[in-house]
Structure 1
Amino acid sequence: MTLLRGRAGAVTASLIGFLFFVEFVSGVLQGFYVPLIPDLVDYLGIKDADFNIFEGAQLLLSALVVPILAKLGDMYGHKRILLVSTVLTAGATWWLAFAGDFTSFLVAWTLQAFYVVWLPLEIALIFDKGRRSGRAASATRKAAGLLIVGLEAGAIAGALGSSAVFEAFGGPDALGSSVVPTLMVPAIAVTLVFFVILFGVPESEPLPGRSLDWIGFSILTIALLLITSGLTFLKFNDDAWWPWALIAVGILAFWPFVAFELRQKDPAIDIRVFRQANMWPVQLTAFLIGISLLGAQAPLATYAGTDKDALGYGLGLGSGTISVLIGIYLISMIVGALLFPLVSRSRTPRFALIVAAFLVAIGYLMFIPLHLETWQVFMNMVIAGLGSGALVGAMPAAAAAAAPRGQTGIASALTNTTKTIGGSFASSVFAIVLAIGAVQIAGATAGSLFGYYLVWGICGAGALVAAVLLFFVPKLAFADAEDPDPATASAEQVVAR
């Protein structure tokens, strides 16, 4: 039985089911540790601020390794690299469970970043599987929506389940004996993922005669390392000039990278493809949406918890109600992910992308006039969540549809890398904006209202620019190929009938 097309070579329901489980576990990894952070801080004997180092290191490694692993997937098979990344993630997650000091926990947490490549590899694998049917683009969009449902459902389950598991093993009163068995739960889940992929997921068909452009990837790695490390250092040295210098040098490093790649027969990244009108707006959209998707969540949580009676703004919500807010936001992302392929089918994929970007813009810009009541914040988050959920799965799927055969993995992965850089940039800038406002106005840990205005305005403006950029995409881009022959139905032919 097939899920999306009743002919040989179609994407099957069983394949989507197996990959749904993989993304569910990915979501568990993203949500499981968050409620445990205060207890992990006590367990490791560190300060609250030190935990930001873990997050920054993991984001840094993911930005570096995801493009390389995705390219290896294009070369040797996406399932094979998916298995390799799962083994590395499982090893890091087991290590994390038994890490009892800051250094070992930092290394294990950082190495866990290999799971970030799962979704781009899955998108590429699904696109390759659907290529023979001539419905690769629409099949990938539908499958991507379901995978995002699995991702967000896993995040909700992880966030809710971790506290329950922790309490079942003794909780804070038995900190020394409860942390290890609690952290073994995600390790077991990732181990199961390996066997699900091994026995349930078919391999893609890589093009023969490929080579890995080590020089190109080395230049790219150096550039990304400079940019992401500069953004990380910026959070802790907001009054220093040298983090900005690192970022500037990293950006300038893309000049020799592009010049070198244009001369290569099999480049790390095919610049000619990324200059096409159906590709560069998608990659820039990923960066701009990353600003709100990855950078705005912490400011929103702190705003929701700010005491309105003391400062005149904020909601004064407790941790339980903030969790409900986050849960509603994640549910709205699930709805958005499910609606995207339906809107794409009734109109065009480009239209659905533009609508999703406008929803994110509207949701965050509405915070500026509407932020004093709890229902207003919930409403704004739902609107932004609908657009964000659609874009999370749509961007890698659109990039895969726009890429030629043999480059679907790297194209999908780069949407994740640009999204991560956008989120890192926003996180650093927002931390500086709110910290400066806190000193000048509140004299405490809460950010100023003007700082929050800037956060919401930047998020909304970024999404608005993304929506405008998507108008430059050809009207009928990302639709299905007309020819079902696998020899000719490449992604280069993904245009509407």
Structure 2
Amino acid sequence: MTDSPNPAVPAGRTSVRAIVGFLVFCELASGFVQGYYAPLLAAIADHLSVTDADITWFLTVQTLAAAVFVPLLSKLGDIFGHRRMLRIAVVAVLIGTLVTALVPNFTVVLIARVLIGPLAVWLPLEIALVHNRISGDSARKAIGMLVSFLTVGAILGTVASGVVSSVSPSLTVTLLVPCAFVLVSVYAVFFKVPESTTRANPHIDVLGFVGLAVAMVALLGGLRLASTEGFASPVTIGALGLAFAVFVAWVIWERRTPAPAVDVRLVASRALGPIYLTAFLFGMVMFGMQAPMTTFLAADPAVTGYGFAATPGLISAVIAVITLLATVGAATFAYLAKRIGIRAVLLIGAVLAGAGNFILAAFHSTLTEVWIASAVMGIGLGLLLGALPALLAELAPSDQTGIAAGVYNSLRTLGGAAAGAVFGLVLALWVAPGGEFAEIGGYVTVWVLCGLAFVGALVALAFLRVPDGRGTPAHAPAADEPAAEASAAV
């Protein structure tokens, strides 16, 4: 590892404010793009003259592309500079959003969605940029802000897509709106964000990246097939078997190569392993529970014996409670960590998130009970959402911050995909013979599984080694920043 300060990088207060201010806007734009398209899927399918089954690939292709781009660009950021890779990522997303809006051809649009895949690597690269310039409590606050504005952006994008589509003269105009946010991000990253100064070993493990990409795509594809075709389907078994075989071979290779794409020993270490395990379990609940919660609320109690026959507005309100409180938790975790320690914050977050699911499993007959459980869960999720990547960035070696954050993001995505398939299977097992709807026991089982996931996270975090209880990170930033200026900028 070498530290070579870039003379073109502005020093002092300018660097701090650029890191915190402009990167926060980039995450707002990232969330906006991620939340904008889902409500428009039916209109996009009609616009492109494809079926509802075909349009599911609109989102799936981006997820598969992200599985490839996140570890690759994160590692290249450690080697060649995180801002340089972030520039490539924002330009790719800009091109992807423009083509999606302007070219009404399904095949071309799917290619454009591949270009939007690097959107998922924005946050890992930004976390690395923050920790290269800012340390301690100020870095935690900055990362909390990044995560919070990502969530705020997703809410804003979801709401904006409905509002804009209702007044827009055409879908093309509607689809151009995200381009404006990404364009401002391009300006920020090219002209206002300083480059990181720490560099990793310049060797690129090409075979390692190829193996990881094949394993990730096969695994995500297999989990998607499991949710539609079932785990017993030959094509599902084949995809998951391929993913397992490639992953085993990849681990063997990574352990033997001197400069691996991903340091698997570090990922499985006692220092970072509990964080990565918690990230996977967290992703299972955060992303996998949304569909069961939606179908439960929408169920007609006169037909199924449970549910509230909820309108889309009521469903959105319940999910908004979880999301908004998660945003608050992510934004404020650093203030709490300063007083009680970041490990205590993580443990409290796991307890609250698990308790919210157990409350929902036991009490779900009234909307008041659902609101209370959602509120408890949302706060817990928010504390984990902010504290996990912040502590990970502190504990990871300074020349591996990008790839460490990239693996964290990938594991959350895998957790959500695995939970989607497993929860779908659980609900299917609770459908009575000849019936159409899952019995309430299926939903209770899902909520218990979510609660147990956080029990597992609690056990993992209990063994987590933190250098000291409260403030100092495991490694210092590559360039000194006055603490008072950093705090003021945050």
| TM-score normalised to structure 2 length | 0.90
Residue 164 of structure 1 aligns to which amino acid in structure 2? V
Name the counterpart of 2:87. Answer: 83
Decide whether the 8 Å contact of 1:9 with 1:129 is kept in 2. Answer: no
Deviations 1:400-431 (A, max 9, x none): 21111210000011011011111011111222
- Identify the residue that residue 26 of structure 1 maps to in structure 2: 30
Partner of 1:244: 237
Alignment of 1:278 with 2:284, yes or no, is no
The letter for the 1-side match of 2:119 is Y
Q: 1:267 to 1:319 in 2, by over 3 A?
A: same
Partner of 2:108: 104
Between the aligned partners of 2:47 and 2:340, the Cα distance in structure 1 is 53
- Cα deviation for residue 139 of structure 1 reads 2.7
Answer yes or no: is 1:310 the counterpart of 2:303: yes
Q: Which residue of 1 aligns with 2:97?
A: 93
- TM-aligned CA distance change 1:269 to 1:485, over 3 Å: closer
Distance in 2, matches of 1:319 and 1:346, equals 40
Q: Output aligned runs, 1:62-211, within 5 Å.
A: 62-130=66-134, 136-170=135-169, 178-207=170-199, 209-211=201-203
Is the contact between residue 33 and residue 162 of structure 1 (CA under 8 Å) also seen in structure 2? yes
Change (3 A) 1:483 1:462: closer
Correspondent of 1:411 among 404, 411, 415: 404
Quote the offset at 1:260 in angstroms.
2.0
1:452 to 424, 443, 446: 443
Q: Pick from 335, 339, 342 the counterpart of residue 342 of structure 1.
A: 335
The answer as to 2:384 corresponding to 1:391 is yes
Per-residue CA shift, 1:264-288, capped at 9, x if unaligned?
Answer: 3321112332232120111111111
Question: Against the structure 1 CA distance between its residues 24 and 440, is the aligned structure 2 distance closer, same or farther, given a 3 Å change threshold?
Answer: farther
Question: What is aligned with 1:371?
Answer: 364
**Matched residue type, 2:296:** Y
SS in 1 for 2:132: helix
For 1:104 and 1:432, the matched residues in 2 are separated by 34
Contact 2:398/2:475 (<8 A) preserved: no
Q: State the alpha-carbon separation in 1 of the partners of residues 242 and 477 from structure 2.
A: 46
1:353-381, CA deviations, whole angstroms, 9 ceiling, x for partnerless residues?
12112221111121111112112112212
Pairwise CA distance, 1:8: 4.5
The alignment partner of 2:360 has SS state of: coil
Gaps of 5+ in 1: 1-6, 131-135, 171-177, 490-497
- RMSD (Å), alpha carbons: 2.4
- Cα distance change on mapping 1:195 and 1:449 into 2, 3 Å: same
5+ long unaligned stretches in structure 2: 1-10, 482-490
Amino acid at match of 1:163: G
- What is residue 173 of structure 1 aligned with on the other side? none
- Summarize the Cα distance change of 1:304–1:487 in structure 2 as closer, same or farther, 3 Å threshold: closer
- The answer to whether structure 1 residue 474 and structure 2 residue 478 are counterparts is no
Match of 1:402 among 392, 395, 400: 395
Q: TM-score, normalised by structure 1?
A: 0.88
Segment drifting more, 471-480 vs 52-61: 471-480
Find the partner of 1:320 among 300, 308, 313: 313
Which whole-Å CA distance do the structure 1 matches of 2:108 and 2:141 have between them?
A: 40
2:213 counterpart SS class? helix
- Per-residue deviation, 1:487: 9.2
Which of 53, 60, 64 aligns to 1:60? It is 64
Give aligned pairs, total.
Answer: 469
Q: How many Å apart are 1:195 and its aligned residue?
A: 0.4
**How far apart in 1 are the matches of 2:72 and 2:224?**
22
Query: 1:214 and 1:314 mapped to 2: Cα distance?
Result: 51
